[in-house]
Structure 1
Amino acid sequence: MLVLVLCFAGTALAAEKEVSSIDAIDMGVADTGETHFTNTDAEITECTLPYTVAVLPYVDVSGLEGRSREMAVNAVKEALETKYPGKKKSVTKIIGNNAVQKALLAYPFENAEVPTLEELVAVGKACGADRVLFISLLPVREKETGFMVIVGSQTYSAVVTMKLKCVDVNEERFLFNQNVESIGSSSSINFWKIGEPSRAKAVKRGVEDCMRNFLTSFE
């Protein structure tokens, strides 16, 4: 963290750029609808409705490590920033991370991995949001297939499941409340034992599909 000697300079910098609840997403902390497989070809586009959105801290119970975990959270952030770019001209506003954290302290969840509608609405009202997004990456199932003699092919598959919720705070109802599942894969043609499919890319593609299904399901 950058330490500023002059407090006035620090205040000016903070006023210039507050960390949004999307920017604050990192690799996470270690009653929902049915599980659905992703089946949409729709692309995520920038939201054009004038509302405020709060993105709650990302929950990762996937069991992933290293590069796979890093690429998963990056895929989540990229999807959110596509729908909610947070530009000066954007009509949809993103609630700052500080406001979200204060609301969570005031209205803590009984179970941080499975917040209820009432809990999400309370947090949304406390931080002044019209909508609240909850994103959780559940345990990932992995599989590798293929053959290898001298030249061969291998495919690495990752079954990604995400618990995804979007709440309309003013109407006190879910706009989206599902576990979404997708199979991401990565393939390679190998010579002898040189080269292998990327596990991290397989996970990333699965997360991208889940987030696409989620963020194209509501305006």
Structure 2
Amino acid sequence: MKKIIIAFLMIFIMGGQSFAFAADRSAERRTLQEEPRQEEKMEIIPSDQNYVLALLPIVDRSNMEEKERKVAMKAIKAAIEKKYPKKNTKVKVISDKEITKAMRMYLFENYDAPVLAELVTIGKAVHADRIIYLSLEPIKSEEDGFRIIIGAQKFSSEIGMKMKFIDVNENKYLFNQFVVKEGSSSAVSFWKLGGASKSRSVKKAVTECMKEFFTNID
């Protein structure tokens, strides 16, 4: 009788362990499945902070064609407007004229890669609490072209941006990363090439870079 009870208990314990393992695996799968959805829902929320901000001129090292460059700049400005809407933001954005004047007085040794001390100097010169420095880096684009079977055309653009957010008073970076995102544009046409847009793929990639930046700063 004791042997039967012991055997029953062992089966019960093993069954419980299997159930727990299966539950853990199921939870893990749910987490992995939910992460992309969370990333897709990532949106720029207007800042509710109260500080003086210096937006330095955007550096363009991307070597993009004129059309794509304009699209990229427009996407950056749209993201900035979302973060700091003119009508109701508490953040005071310093004028381009003041920033240009300060940057002529305190030249960077290398404008493509200014160091913290140089950025802080500009911030103090214009009495800013925060500084944003953005740089579009060389990109990689790929055109899949026309596929015979379904006639699909796709553009894919990989955008890299140096993104810096500096606390002038504390003399430190609040964000300092090289962010890389990919955007794509595709179309299906059975009778002709065309439909996919390189500009749209660039816009999507830049927009994702800006989301990454602005969702990580106040």
Shorter-chain TM range is: 0.7 to 0.9
Partner amino acid, structure 2, of 1:62: S
Alignment of 1:65-84 (within 5 A): 65-84=65-84
Tell me how many residue pairs correspond in the alignment.
Answer: 180
Partner amino acid, structure 2, of 1:53: L
Partner amino acid, structure 1, of 2:118: E
> Contact (CA 8 Å) 2:146, 2:193: kept in 1 or not?
no
Alignment of 1:199-210 (within 5 A): 199-210=198-209
- The yes-or-no answer on 1:132 pairing with 2:131 is yes
2:164 alignment counterpart = 165
Alignment of 1:23-38 (within 5 A): none
> Contact (CA 8 Å) 1:144, 1:157: kept in 2 or not?
yes
2:31 alignment counterpart = none
> Contact (CA 8 Å) 1:148, 1:192: kept in 2 or not?
no
C-alpha distance in 2 between matches for 1:207 and 1:156: 15
Q: Give the drift of 1:192.
A: 2.3
2:48 alignment counterpart = 48
Identity, % of aligned positions: 43
Higher helix share: 2
> If you compute each CA radius of gyration, which structure gives the higher value, 1 or 2?
2
> Contact (CA 8 Å) 2:154, 2:196: kept in 1 or not?
yes
- The yes-or-no answer on 1:183 pairing with 2:182 is yes
Q: Give the drift of 1:59.
A: 0.5
Q: Give the drift of 1:148.
A: 3.3
SS at match of 2:124: helix
Partner amino acid, structure 2, of 1:84: Y
C-alpha distance in 2 between matches for 1:189 and 1:121: 50
SS at match of 2:144: strand
1:17 alignment counterpart = none
- The yes-or-no answer on 1:58 pairing with 2:63 is no
2:3 alignment counterpart = none
SS at match of 2:85: coil
Structure 1: 4+ residue segments shifted above 4 A: none
**Greater RCO, 1 or 2 (C-alpha within 8 Å, sep 6+):** 1
SS at match of 2:189: strand
Please give the root-mean-square deviation of Cα atoms over the aligned residues, in Å. Answer: 1.5
C-alpha distance in 2 between matches for 1:149 and 1:46: 46
Partner amino acid, structure 1, of 2:45: T
Q: TM-score, normalised by structure 1?
A: 0.78
2:4 alignment counterpart = none
SS at match of 1:196: coil
Partner amino acid, structure 2, of 1:73: M
Partner amino acid, structure 2, of 1:80: I
SS at match of 1:208: helix
Alignment of 1:92-171 (within 5 A): 92-145=91-144, 147-149=146-148, 152-171=151-170
C-alpha distance in 1 between matches for 2:132 and 2:209: 14
Unaligned runs of 5+ in 1: 1-38
> Contact (CA 8 Å) 1:67, 1:200: kept in 2 or not?
yes
> Contact (CA 8 Å) 1:150, 1:192: kept in 2 or not?
no
